[in-house]
Amino acid sequence: MSVSNGSNESFNHSETRENSSNEGSSVQSSECDSPANTKNLADISFDALIRRRNRYIANFKYDKAKEVDALINLKKTTDYQTHLQNVEDYLSQKIDEFFEQFNENCEQIQKNFEYIEFEARKNWDEVFVNMKAKHINDLTELEKMRAYEDVYKPNSLNVRNH
């Protein structure tokens, strides 16, 4: 079916349908139909894909627009999953770091507790040794005083000697 557009050029609808159905398998824009602009659509940004879809719609290439729209939806899902995986990896890494830090903190607290306990026991041991030495000195002084009294008070009754 041919349609004349006022000039001597004719527009063939059947050729356009065949071209659009053949081009439907490769999701590329009119820009990408040229060999210089063959680019993987997975590498194209969302904005470029949306502009491309709008251009297809403006040129009445609805099949291509539908394919680009499907690619946009796929890319959104893939990007969502990629971001979700990145967040999961980040959180997993942070949880591992926090768990490791927690274990280090627990070990440090245990070491501090053991050090404080050791210092307290050492201090109490020193106090005990000092009190024992003082007690021995006090007993020695007491015995010396008794002996002194026994020696210098001859008139008093010495119960020990009898």
Question: Taking Cα atoms as reference points, which of 118, 119, 113, 116 lies closest to residue 105?
Answer: 113
Threshold 0.85, pTM exceeds: no
pLDDT tens for the chain, residues 1 to 162: 344 444 343 333 333 333 343 444 344 444 444 333 335 666 777 788 888 889 888 988 888 888 888 888 877 776 677 778 889 999 999 999 999 999 999 999 999 999 999 999 999 999 999 999 999 999 999 999 998 888 887 665 555 555
